Amino acid sequence: MINWANFISQCFNGFVLGALLALISSGLTIIYGTLGVLNLAHGAMFMLGGYAGWVAYTYTGSFLAAVVAGSSFVMIVGVVIERLIIRHFYTRPHEDQLLVTFGLGIVFVEMVRFFFGSLSHSVPPPAALVGITHLGFMVYPTYRLALLGIVGVALLALYFVLYRTRIGMIVRAGIEDSVMVDSLGIDVYRVFMLVFGIGAMAAGFAGIVNAPVVSIAPDVGETILVQTFVVVVIGGVGSFPGAIIGGLIAGEIISITSMFNPGYSYVMLFVAMTLVLVLRPHGLLGTAGRE
């Protein structure tokens, strides 16, 4: 027998996880769409955000400082690796790009392990958001509720940057045809750097705001990376709306399956991905040209 209160609360969990995955996947997908590089270190960016935030939190005791530190640190890391390494791979085969970002991911994870050890750490939510909230039909942890709002605002901000600003217009044009954008006299390399930074920051931000829910450890990024891939395959590579829909679908599948048997949540995720691949090979909102 299904316990309805439990079911609704799991749906909510799925919604929160989905929003988080949507944010992380948007970062991955705009990087791929604009630069043509699939960043296998994206999971490590999520992890770095959590750690940078945790370090800031231990010094300041402020959650806000942790969020700012986490996301801006990862943005800087993104910009630096784009400048130093990724830039030299734009003209190399996709396989080389995958190998180098995979290697970078390992370097980041092992560096964190080297400095902070393998044990997990946690960042408590801000005092105002501790406890539970009575929603009338169910009770729900206040921070998770707030998380939904925080991630929602971040997604809106990303949407605003992408669809309402000049730089966003250039990025979207670059997703369609970066050679053309280059020949229009726009310095695409500077745009690429910025996109890589913003994409990484989306993951870093998600990493720190999620830290009060799931504690941080050097290898938290791996699971997130795999889930992000499924989201992107379902939603369509290079599509921002696709990342959001894919994220929500994946979040609900994971949460609802977990209610019955957590061991099957990946199987169900995989079934969903296979179904999409068979019925719509380019993803729900992807287009044929973007590969």
Partner 1 sequence: MRIKHPFLVELLTAVALILAPFVLPHLGFSPSTVNRILIWGLFGIGFDILFGYTGLLSFGQSAFYGTGGMFAAYLLTETDFSYVMAAIVTGAAVAGAVGYVIGLIALRRTGIYFAMITVAIAEVFFFVEFNPLSAFTGGENGLPGVPTPVFNLGFKVFEFNTDWTMYTFLAFWYFVGVVIALRIVRSPVGAILSAIRDNPLRAAALGHNVHGYKLTAFVVAAIYAGFAGGLLGVMQGFMPPDAFMFDTSGQVVMQTAIGGGGTLFGPLVGATVWLYLSDFFQNTLHLGATWKLVLGIVFVLLVCFLRRGIVGAIVDLYKVVAGRKRIEPAEASIESARFDAADIEPMPPSRRGGTPVSGPILQARGLTKRYGGIVANSDIDFAVDHGETRGIIGPNGAGKTTFFKMLTCEIAPTSGQIMFEGRDITGMGVSDVCQLGLTKSYQINQLFDRLTVGRNLTIAALGETRGKFRLDLFKSLHGVPGLNEQVERTAALVNLTARLDTPVSELAYGEKRRLEIGLALATSPSLLLLDEPLAGMSPSERVETVALLKSIARGRTMIIIDHDIDSLFELVERVTVLQEGRVLVHGAPQEIKFNPKVQEAYLGGVHGEMA
260 touching partner 1, by CB under 8 A: no
Which lies closer to partner 1 via its Cβ, residue 12 or residue 32?
A: 32
User: Considering the complex, what minimum distance in angstroms separates the CB of residue 3 from partner 1?
Assistant: 22
User: Considering the complex, what minimum distance in angstroms separates the CB of residue 246 from partner 1?
Assistant: 12
137 touching partner 1, by CB under 8 A: no
Distance CA 2, CA 61 (A): 42
Which whole-number Å values give the CA distances from 55 to 48, 50, 216, in the listed order?
10, 9, 11
Distance CA 256, CA 258 (A): 5
Q: From the centroid of its chain, how far is CA 23?
A: 5
User: Considering the complex, what minimum distance in angstroms separates the CB of residue 106 from partner 1?
Assistant: 4
Distance CA 74, CA 54 (A): 13
> Contact region for partner 1 (CB under 8 A) — 49-57, 138-146, 241-249, 260-268?
260-268
User: Considering the complex, what minimum distance in angstroms separates the CB of residue 249 from partner 1?
Assistant: 14
Looking up tokens 């590969």 gives 291
* Residue 186, burial from CB neighbour count under 10 angstroms (0-12, 13-18, 19+): middle
180 touching partner 1, by CB under 8 A: no
Which lies closer to partner 1 via its Cβ, residue 38 or residue 248?
A: 38
User: Considering the complex, what minimum distance in angstroms separates the CB of residue 290 from partner 1?
Assistant: 10
Pairing of strands 132-134, 139-141: antiparallel
Which lies closer to partner 1 via its Cβ, residue 62 or residue 274?
A: 274
First to last CA, the chain: 45
225 touching partner 1, by CB under 8 A: yes
130 touching partner 1, by CB under 8 A: no
Chain residues 76-115 in contact with partner 1, contact rule CB under 8 A: 85, 88, 92, 94-96, 98-100, 102-104, 106-107, 110-111, 113-114
Which lies closer to partner 1 via its Cβ, residue 106 or residue 157?
A: 106
229 touching partner 1, by CB under 8 A: yes
54 Cβ neighbours under 8 A, 6+ residues apart: 66, 70, 121, 123, 208, 211, 216
Which lies closer to partner 1 via its Cβ, residue 185 or residue 263?
A: 263
156 touching partner 1, by CB under 8 A: no
Chain residues 28-57 in contact with partner 1, contact rule CB under 8 A: 32, 38
262 Cβ neighbours under 8 A, 6+ residues apart: none
> Contact region for partner 1 (CB under 8 A) — 18-26, 128-136, 146-154, 266-274?
266-274
Q: Which of 127, 278, 288, 289 binds partner 1 (CB under 8 A)?
A: 278
The CB-side HSE value for 151 (13 A sphere, CA atoms) comes to 29
Q: Which residues of this chain interact with partner 1, rule CB under 8 A?
A: 32, 38, 85, 88, 92, 94-96, 98-100, 102-104, 106-107, 110-111, 113-114, 118, 222-223, 225-226, 229-230, 232-233, 237, 261-267, 269-270, 273-274, 277-278, 281, 291
